[in-house]
Amino acid sequence: MKISALQAILVIGVIISVYLAYSHYNPGALVCPTSGLINCQEVITSSYSIIFGVPLAIYAVIWFLIALILSFSKRSTLAELWFLIGIGGIIYSLFSMYMLGKICEFCSTLDVIIIASIVLLFKGQGLK
């Protein structure tokens, strides 16, 4: 079975979001600068990183897994809506990094992956 570009970047998104979720609970595992503008540790452990008691990285894992599953289905309104929900995640990510004055390079990479997946989906290169 041939994997699409959309599915490939979604797999990368799953891997990065699982890594961030793991790093949320195991701060020593995170490989990222911890001083200056780029400070992933501060971003993923800030008050902005938890909603309803759940780390955002867990929400990212769920979003990417569902998006990956939907990428194997036929094009549907549900799939399109799910991918557009990712825009909310990007907005929140950018807002939180702005409020903290810090950037998480892994979080920013996930934002770019979500944007790329939406572009691929709506250009007709995603779902069947």
Is 114 among the domain residues? Answer: yes
Is 127 among the domain residues? Answer: no
Task: Label residue 1 by pLDDT band (50, 70, 90).
Answer: low
Q: Using alpha carbons only, how large is the chain's radius of gyration in Å?
A: 15
Instruction: List the CATH number of the domain containing 89.
Output: 1.20.1440.130
The pTM assigned to this predicted structure is 0.89
Is 128 among the domain residues? Answer: no
The dihedral through the CA atoms of 96, 98, 103, 107 has a sign that is: positive
- Residue 23 sits in which domain range? 5-122
Rounded Cα gap, residues 74 and 90, in angstroms: 25
pLDDT over threshold 90, residue 127 = no
Is 13 among the domain residues? Answer: yes
The predicted pLDDT at position 83 comes to: 87
Rounded Cα gap, residues 93 and 111, in angstroms: 8
Is 22 among the domain residues? Answer: yes
Kindly report which listed range (57-61, 106-110, 116-120) carries the lowest average pLDDT score: 116-120
Q: Structural domain tally of the chain?
A: 1
Tell me the pLDDT tens digit for each residue of 31-88: 887 788 999 888 988 999 999 999 999 999 999 999 999 988 876 788 889 988 999 9
The predicted pLDDT at position 68 comes to: 93
